[in-house]
């Protein structure tokens, strides 16, 4: 052999090794799916959804995936995760069994059902890791197509880092923006508005995202003919194809069983996106579902015999094997060896996963049974308690609920006894509960040193020379210094860039700080939020604007499903410290003066909800948020931008502590609790009430989540013994939450001498015009009447 021949053989050999490695991973993944389904059907796991039939394109995608890149995908992606080294087989099974140990199940510590992948961006202290040196996956959620929203932001972060590399310098997240965000979505999920909105946004922004559509012609039982015009997503997206002007997408269509073509497509798409920030769409067709959609049903019910036969023939793994053999890359027996090794590995991994899931529970069973048996010896209910222990220890595959139920019963049976054994059991139970709190209830909010409640308060400073200005000018001055100081901060939304938002809070700032920092977006609330999530997940500090509070409904899905759950569903493994800025409460008409605070409070637990009464408070809250790592919604008063306020001397330094209400008027007769714009109306009512000698104590709660953490309101009730909650939301909306907090959480009912009252807006949306507002929202005269009547009933002799 001459030199070139040797080189060729060596190259061939290398090529073969790579291909066989790909076959090995794909085959292991397939076996994992097959075994996973069995585990569910035999009752070891509750639900299973698997990546079978989608292995090959994911192997190809993983080849193009580099350090610093991010995936934003869905439940079919186990092979990609395995091929990228981000998931091993044991971890796959650990999630299937809901192992709550974060080391065994790093994606969610058993909190999410199987198939929900994600890497840990944060260390155990909640601090960022060097994400540019890691392969990353954002944490999956179940709502179809929702992953497309944050994909836009993950991709936009690369563009931002590239554009501002001199400003930002070396950082943990990006090397010159050379990272790609890889999205995956099922064919049927492309029917969602989320998908189309995200595709359009990515095209407008020209950001490095590669969207793969895994097309198996079905969405559960519903065929593509009901999902997609022409049954073909790449066909109908042709208008997005890049043209000679260089704008748009590079669109690829490739068959899901065609290994060389898949490898070539992903290499090209990755390169285009990484180097030139060109978004790409890869439509992967002719995929199958060997085991149907999930363990919840069988596809024989809705697929024809012909289709089922076609799927068998065109299974990507089968065709990959045929291709390997046809091209003499390997032999039957060599492949068989790989398959046999895979069988052993998958079985051993499954077994290890099961044991590591079950052993700690068995340990707890042993401990609790021991304590129950001790108790049995010291009680007249010995037989019953011993039977409980016996029953508990005989469960072959126990869960913790069974321990909790048995202990509770034992303590019930012996409730009047005071033995050491019972005390020991109680003490064990309290540790058990603490551990279960950690397993199932921790990390709703950041537990890092950057938690919002840990931000140190700095009071605003005013002096004699402090100017009186329009409220919006306080914001402009605040944001101006923020953009100067912190290159991670960007602000965007509808009309945010050129005109500096509809109320001029960013006026002139785009000109000063650049179009990359403060910019306009299309009218697309879902992806405005997604852009915020993705950029925040990559170390930036986005302020994403929803133009009016009423339009938060459009943005609510990703806020509720993605942002609010992120810390919780990853048990502190990921964070998106996103600030959503909006304005509302009072102005004009049905869609410009809403205050759906109950909806917000009920859907956004996990976020902070801040309701500053003026712009000085708002600027201080922004400063608190920017120093913390928690996501928040901040609602400015729509009618407050032109009201005069004093400009603080220490903008950008003072902070408003969260969860700390403020008494804005002292009084001894009634505690009146409210927030936001309504406070000004309450102050009008207060003037009228003073005329008849009634002094109300007006408390601005300032932040609804967190709510009055030091129980200031309850303290006020000790003095007044009467409570009125005034709220612009519908009856029983936010006011119900506020009452629950005061009466139950703060034990406020102890201090009441009269029925607590809520005064709210009417149940309908507010009508247009000043009269519409007056007769729809709580007005000063109604407030006067409600409070006067309360006082009259309480002490008729006083008036
Ligand atoms: C918003 C929302 N609607 C419905 C569902 C229930 N659901 C889960 S998967 C699925 C079908 C998805 O099909 P496709 O996108 O083609 O992905 P495939 O499972 O075929 O890979 C549906 C309807 C959901 N998870 N989220
Ligand atoms: Mg499908």
Q: Name the phi and psi angles at 130, rounded to 5.
A: -80, 85
> Choosing from 116, 277, 592, 751, which is the catalytic residue?
592
Are residues 279 and 206 in contact, defined by beta-carbon separation less than 8 angstroms?
yes
CB-count exposure of residue 5 (10 Å: 0-12, 13-18, 19+): exposed
What phi and psi, each to the nearest 5 degrees, are found at residue 579? -105, 120
Q: Are 57 and 284 in contact (CB under 8 A)?
A: yes
- The pair of three-digit structure tokens given for residue 609, joined into one six-digit string: 């909800």
Ligand 1 atom with least separation from CA of 214: 21
Sign of dihedral through CA atoms 709, 711, 716, 721?
positive
296-300: Cβ within 8 A, 24+ apart: 296/47, 297/220, 297/221, 299/218, 299/221
Q: Is the minimum distance from the CB of 557 to ligand 1 under 6 angstroms?
A: no
Q: What is the model's pLDDT at position 646? A: 97
Q: How far is the CA of 147 from the centre of ligand 1 (A)?
A: 12
Query: Closest residue (by CA) to atom 12 of ligand 1?
Result: 219
In the DSSP assignment, the letter for residue 501 is: S
**What burial letters (b/e) apply to 504-528, b meaning 16+ CB within 10 Å?**
bbbbebbeebeeebbbebeebbbbb
Q: Give CA 300 to chain center in angstroms.
A: 35
Cα-only R_g, the chain = 30
**Alpha carbon distance 314, 53 (integer Å):** 9
Structure tokens at 323: 């291709």
Q: For residue 205, what are the contacts with CB-CB under 8 A and spacing of at least 6?
A: 152, 155, 156, 159
Does the pLDDT value for residue 9 go beyond 80? no
In sequence order, the 6+-apart residues with CB closer than 8 A to the CB of 193 are 526
Q: Residue 7: its pLDDT value, please?
A: 67
Reading phi first (left if > 0) and then psi (alpha if -120 to 50, else beta), residue 694 is in beta
For the record, the structure tokens of 286 come out as: 């002719």
Kindly report the CA angle at 789 between 788 and 793, in degrees rounded to 5?
Answer: 120
Please tell me the predicted confidence (pLDDT) of residue 12.
82
Read off the pTM: 0.97
The per-residue pLDDT for 14 is 86
Does the Cβ of 33 fall within 6 Å of ligand 1?
no
Q: What is the pLDDT of residue 2?
A: 60
The share of the chain scoring above pLDDT 90, in percent, equals: 96
Q: Span 373-401, mean pLDDT?
A: 96
Task: Decide whether any atom of ligand 1 lies within 6 Å of the 218 Cβ.
Answer: yes
Is any ligand 1 atom within 6 A of the Cβ of residue 189? yes
CB 105 within 8 A of CB 88: no
What is the per-residue pLDDT across 86-138, written as a single tens digit (0 to 9) for each? 999 999 999 999 999 999 999 999 999 999 999 999 999 999 999 999 999 99
The terminus-to-terminus CA distance of the chain in angstroms comes to 114
Tokens of 786: 């409600």
Task: Give CA 50 to chain center in angstroms.
Answer: 23
Choose the residue to mutate in 53, 220, 294, 299 for probing ligand 1, maximizing ligand atoms within 8 Å of C-beta: 220
Q: Is the pLDDT of residue 209 over 80?
A: yes
Alpha-carbon distance of 247 to 273, in angstroms, equals 13
- Tell me which of 184, 189, 222, 283 to substitute to probe ligand 1's pocket, judged by most ligand atoms within 8 Å of the beta carbon: 189
Q: Please confirm whether the linkage preceding 145 is cis (ω < 30° from 0).
A: no
* 125 given a catalytic annotation: no
* Those residues with Cβ within 8 angstroms of residue 117's Cβ, 6 or more apart along the chain or in another chain: 71, 73, 77, 78, 81, 86, 87, 107, 137, 139, 140
Q: Which residues pair with 283 in a beta bridge?
A: 213, 253
Q: State the ligand closest to the CA atom of 115.
A: 1
Is the distance from the beta carbon of residue 187 to the nearest atom of ligand 1 less than 6 Å? Answer: yes
For ligand 1, say whether the CB of 184 is within 6 Å of any of its atoms: no
Q: Is 338 in the pocket of ligand 1 (CB under 6 A)?
A: no
Q: How far apart are CA 140 and CA 359, in angstroms?
A: 28
Ligand 1 center from residue 754 Cα (angstroms)? 52
The half-sphere exposure of 654 on its side-chain side, counting CA atoms within 13 A, is 18
Relative to the CA of 144, which ligand 1 atom is closest? 26
Query: 3-class SS at 287?
Result: coil
Asked whether the beta carbons of 682 and 783 are under 8 A apart, the reply is yes
Q: Are 387 and 124 in contact (CB under 8 A)?
A: no
Q: Is the CB of 219 under 6 A from ligand 1?
A: yes
* Residue 240 predicted with pLDDT over 80: yes
Q: Is 292 in the pocket of ligand 1 (CB under 6 A)?
A: no
Give strand pairing partners of 582.
Answer: 635
- How big is the CA angle at 542 (ends 539 and 543), to the nearest 5 degrees? 155
Residue 115 alpha carbon to ligand 2 centre in Å: 15
| 464: its two tokens | 């004699």
How far away, in angstroms, is 145 Cα from ligand 2 center?
Answer: 12
pLDDT bucket at 586, cuts 50 / 70 / 90: confident
How far is the C-alpha of 184 from the C-alpha of 57, rounded, in Å? 11
- Which ligand 1 atom lies nearest to the CA of residue 76? 21
Measured from the CB, is residue 186 less than 6 Å from ligand 1? yes
CB-based burial label for 128 (10 Å; 0-12, 13-18, 19+): middle
**CB of 570 closer than 8 Å to CB of 108:** yes
Q: How far is the CA of 99 from the centre of ligand 2 (A)?
A: 28
Most informative mutation of 52, 75, 113, 144 for ligand 1 (most atoms within 8 A of CB) = 144
For residue range 320-333, list pLDDT tens digits in order.
999 999 999 999 99
Query: How close is the Cα of 90 to the center of ligand 1, in Å?
Result: 26
Instruction: Read off the pLDDT of each residue in 244-249 and give the average, rounded to a whole number.
Output: 92
Q: For residues 98 and 39, is the Cβ–Cβ distance under 8 A?
A: no
Ligand 1 close to Cβ of residue 759 (< 6 A): no
Residue 8 has a pLDDT of: 63
pLDDT digits (tens, 9 = 90+) for 695-738: 999 999 999 999 999 999 999 999 999 999 999 999 999 999 99
CA distances from 714 to 336, 609, 661, 721, 794 (A): 73, 21, 11, 9, 19
Closest ligand 1 atom number to CA of residue 227: 16
Handedness of CA 192, 196, 201, 207 (dihedral sign): positive
Ligand 1 pocket, 551 CB below 6 A? no
DSSP for 345-362, written as a single string: HHHHHHHHHHHHHHHHHH
What's the rounded Cα separation, in Å, for the pair 401 and 397?
Answer: 12
Q: Which residue minimizes the CA distance to atom 7 of ligand 1?
A: 144
Question: Does any ligand 1 atom lie closer than 6 A to the CB of residue 296?
Answer: no
The residue whose two tokens read 């992806």 is 527
Residue having the nearest C-alpha atom to atom 8 of ligand 1: 144
Asked if 79 contacts 26 with a C-beta cutoff of 8 angstroms, the reply is: yes
The residues, any chain, with a CB within 8 Å of residue 365's CB and separated by 6 or more, are: 392, 393, 395, 398, 403
Sign of CA dihedral 418, 419, 424, 429: negative
Omega before 706 within 30 of 0, i.e. cis? yes
pLDDT digits (tens, 9 = 90+) for 474-507: 999 999 999 999 999 999 999 999 999 999 999 9
143 lines ligand 1 (CB under 6 A): yes
Pocket test for ligand 1, best of 49, 140, 185, 188 (most atoms within 8 A of CB): 188
**Separation of CA 117 and ligand 2 centre (Å):** 18
**Rounded CA separation 207/180 (Å):** 9
Q: Which ligand neighbours the alpha carbon of 191 most closely?
A: 1
Q: Residue 53: CB within 6 Å of ligand 1?
A: no
User: What separation in Å is there between the alpha carbon of 289 and the centre of ligand 1?
Assistant: 14
Cα–Cα distance for residue pair 792/799, rounded to 1 Å: 7
Mutate to test the pocket of ligand 1, among 186, 256, 285, 292 (most ligand atoms within 8 A of CB): 186
Give the CB-side neighbour count of residue 502, counting CA atoms within 13 A: 14
Lookup result for tokens 């969860």: 659
Pocket probe for ligand 1: among 78, 80, 190, 219, the residue whose CB has the most ligand atoms within 8 Å is 219
Give the span between the Cα atoms of 521 and 202, in whole angstroms.
Answer: 11
CB 684 within 8 A of CB 640: no
Instruction: Give, in order, the Cα–Cα distances in Å from 249 to each of 158, 304, 492, 516, 660.
Output: 17, 35, 23, 21, 49
Closest CA to 85 of 105, 100, 102, 63: 63
Strand, helix or coil at 128? strand
Query: How far away, in angstroms, is 405 Cα from ligand 1 center?
Result: 36
Rounded CA-CA distance 289/316 in Å is 10
Pocket flag, ligand 1, residue 561 (CB < 6 Å): no
Does the pLDDT at position 1 exceed 60?
no
pLDDT tens column, 26-44: 999 999 999 999 999 999 9
Determine the distance separating the centroid of ligand 2 and the alpha carbon of 46, expressed in angstroms.
Answer: 22
For residues 478 and 605, give the distance between their C-alpha atoms in angstroms, rounded to a whole number: 28
Question: Where are the strands (E) in 514-653, listed by range?
Answer: 518-520, 541-545, 579-584, 608-610, 632-637, 644-646
Ligand 1 pocket, residue 188 CB under 6 Å: yes
φ/ψ (deg, to 5) at 540: -90, 170
257 Cβ closer than 6 Å to some ligand 1 atom: no
Distance 186 CA to ligand 2 centre (A): 5
Ligand lying closest to the C-alpha of residue 75: 1
Measured by CA distance, the residue closest to atom 21 of ligand 1 is 186
Sign of the alpha-carbon torsion through 639, 530, 156, 619: positive
DSSP-assigned states of every residue in 533-559: HHHHHTT-EEEEE-SSGGGHHHHHHHI
- The neighbourhood of ligand 2, an ion, using CB within 5 A, equals 186-188, 216, 218
Q: Helix 525-537 crosses helix 147-163 at what angle (to 10 degrees)?
A: 60
Q: Average per-residue pLDDT in the chain?
A: 97
Number of the ligand closest to the Cα of 291:
1
What pLDDT, in 10s, does the model give residues 137-178?
999 999 999 999 999 999 999 999 999 999 999 999 999 999
Cβ pair 479, 510 in contact under 8 A: no
Instruction: Dig out the tokens for 662 from the structure.
Output: 């403020």
Nearest CA to ligand 1 atom 18: 186
């Amino acid at each position: 052999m001459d030199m070139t021949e040797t080189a060729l053989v060596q190259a061939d050999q290398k090529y073969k090794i790579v291909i066989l490695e790909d076959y090995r991973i794909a085959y292991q993944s397939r076996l994992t799916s097959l075994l996973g389904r069995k585990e569910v059907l035999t009752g070891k796991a509750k639900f299973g959804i698997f990546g079978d039939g989608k292995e090959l394109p994911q192997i190809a995608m993983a080849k193009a995936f580099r350090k610093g890149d991010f995936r934003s995908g869905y439940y079919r992606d186990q092979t990609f995760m395995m091929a990228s080294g981000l998931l091993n087989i044991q971890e796959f099974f650990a999630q299937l069994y809901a192992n709550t140990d974060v080391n065994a199940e790093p994606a969610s510590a058993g909190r999410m059902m199987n198939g929900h992948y994600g890497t840990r961006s944060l260390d155990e202290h909640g601090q960022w890791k060097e994400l540019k040196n890691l392969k990353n996956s954002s944490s999956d959620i179940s709502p179809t197509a929702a992953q497309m929203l944050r994909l836009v932001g993950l991709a936009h972060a690369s563009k931002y880092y590239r554009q501002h590399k001199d400003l930002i310098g070396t950082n943990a997240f990006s090397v010159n923006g050379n990272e790609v965000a890889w999205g995956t979505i099922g064919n049927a999920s492309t029917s969602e508005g989320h998908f189309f909105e995200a595709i359009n946004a990515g095209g407008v922004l020209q950001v490095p995202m590669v969207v793969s559509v895994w097309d198996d012609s079905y969405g559960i039982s519903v065929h593509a003919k009901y999902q997609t015009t022409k049954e073909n997503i790449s066909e109908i997206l042709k208008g997005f194809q890049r043209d000679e002007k260089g704008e748009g997408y590079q669109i690829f269509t490739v068959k899901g069983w065609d290994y060389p073509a898949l490898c070539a497509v992903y290499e090209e798409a990755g390169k285009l996106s990484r180097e030139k920030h060109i978004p790409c769409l890869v439509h992967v067709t002719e995929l199958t579902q060997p085991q149907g959609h999930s363990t919840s049903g069988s596809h024989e019910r809705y697929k024809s015999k012909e289709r089922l036969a076609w799927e068998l023939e065109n299974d990507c793994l089968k065709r990959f094997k045929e291709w390997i053999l046809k091209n003499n890359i390997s032999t039957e027996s060599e492949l068989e060896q790989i398959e046999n090794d895979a069988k052993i590995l998958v079985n051993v991994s499954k077994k290890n996963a099961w044991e590591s899931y079950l052993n700690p529970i068995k340990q707890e069973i042993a401990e609790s049974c021991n304590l129950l048996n001790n108790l049995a010896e010291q009680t007249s209910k010995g037989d019953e308690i011993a039977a409980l222990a016996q029953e508990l220890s005989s469960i072959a595959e126990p869960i913790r609920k069974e321990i909790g139920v048995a202990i509770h019963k034992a303590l019930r049976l012996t409730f009047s006894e005071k033995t050491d054994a019972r005390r020991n059991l109680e003490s064990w139970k309290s540790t058990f509960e603490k551990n279960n709190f950690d397993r199932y209830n921790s990390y709703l909010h950041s537990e890092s040193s950057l938690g919002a409640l840990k931000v140190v308060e700095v009071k605003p400073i005013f002096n004699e020379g402090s100017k009186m200005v329009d409220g919006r000018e306080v914001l402009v001055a605040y944001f101006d210094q923020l953009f100067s100081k912190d290159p991670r901060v960007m602000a965007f939304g509808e009309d945010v860039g050129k005109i500096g938002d509809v109320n001029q809070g960013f006026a002139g700032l785009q000109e000063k700080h650049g179009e990359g920092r403060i910019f306009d977006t299309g009218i697309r609330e879902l992806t405005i939020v997604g852009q915020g999530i993705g950029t925040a997940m990559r170390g930036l500090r986005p302020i994403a604007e929803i133009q009016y509070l009423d339009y938060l409904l459009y943005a609510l899905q990703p806020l509720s499903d993605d942002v609010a759950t992120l810390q919780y569903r990853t048990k502190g493994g990921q964070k998106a410290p996103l600030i959503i800025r909006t304005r509302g409460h009072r102005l004009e008409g049905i869609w410009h003066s809403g205050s759906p605070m109950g909806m917000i409070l009920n859907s956004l637990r996990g976020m902070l909800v801040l309701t500053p009464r003026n712009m000085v408070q708002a600027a201080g809250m922004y400063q608190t948020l920017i120093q913390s790592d928690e996501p928040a919604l901040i609602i400015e008063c729509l009618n407050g931008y032109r009201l005069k306020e004093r400009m603080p001397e220490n903008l950008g330094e003072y902070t408003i502590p969260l969860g700390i209400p403020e008494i804005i008027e002292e009084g001894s007769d009634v505690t009146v609790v409210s927030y936001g714009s309504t406070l000004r109306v309450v102050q009008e009512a207060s003037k009228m009430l003073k005329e008849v000698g009634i002094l109300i104590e007006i408390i601005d709660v300032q932040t609804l989540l967190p709510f009055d953490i030091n129980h200031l309101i309850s303290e006020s009730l000790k003095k007044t013994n009467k409570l009125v909650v005034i709220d612009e939301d519908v009856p029983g909306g936010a006011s119900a939450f506020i009452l629950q907090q005061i009466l139950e959480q703060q034990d406020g009912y102890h201090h009441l001498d009269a029925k607590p009252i809520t005064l709210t807006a009417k149940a309908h949306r507010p009508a247009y015009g000043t009269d519409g507002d007056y007769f729809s929202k709580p007005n000063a005269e109604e407030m006067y009447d409600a409070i006067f009547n309360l006082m009259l009933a309480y002490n008729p002799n006083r008036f």
